Amino acid sequence: MTTTRGVRNRNPGNIDWSKANDWVGQTGKEGGPGGRFAVFDTPENGIRALGKLLQTYYKKHKLQTVQAIIKRWAPEVENDTGAYINAVAARCGLKPTEQIRNIKDVRVLAGLMHAIIKHENANFEYPEAVFAEGLRRALA
């Protein structure tokens, strides 16, 4: 079985590396100086970064629907963003344009994170304890 980039980098959201982001547990970028994606020391810290970034999208950027979040997360120039939006919304039990009322609701944030991880990593799922710890760190 082939391991996806997100799993290999312990970055299941495939978050771009940026020197502006000093994520907990970030160890560098894939492939060294010319790489694009962040690498984390543990999957829990990669999951944490995903959750923290989703909360930033919601609060700072006022992206409060699955459609708005995924349009920023997975730009159309690189992705089939419409399919991504529909997949995440379906996995979360939300309509793409339905208002997310509270991003810190464990069920809401966990649903978004789980759906993004599955989409980014060919339906890969972390063991429940690993995901739960990353989610806990994201909400701390």
Digit-coded pLDDT (tens) for 9-51: 999 999 999 988 999 999 999 987 778 999 999 999 999 999 9
pTM across the whole model: 0.95
Domain count within the chain:
1
User: Is the per-residue pLDDT at 53 higher than 80?
Assistant: yes
Cα(83)–Cα(116) distance, integer angstroms: 12
User: Is the per-residue pLDDT at 1 higher than 70?
Assistant: no
Q: Which amino acid type is present at position 113?
A: M
User: Is the per-residue pLDDT at 2 higher than 80?
Assistant: no
Tokens 């089939």 found at: 80
Domain limits for position 110: 5-139
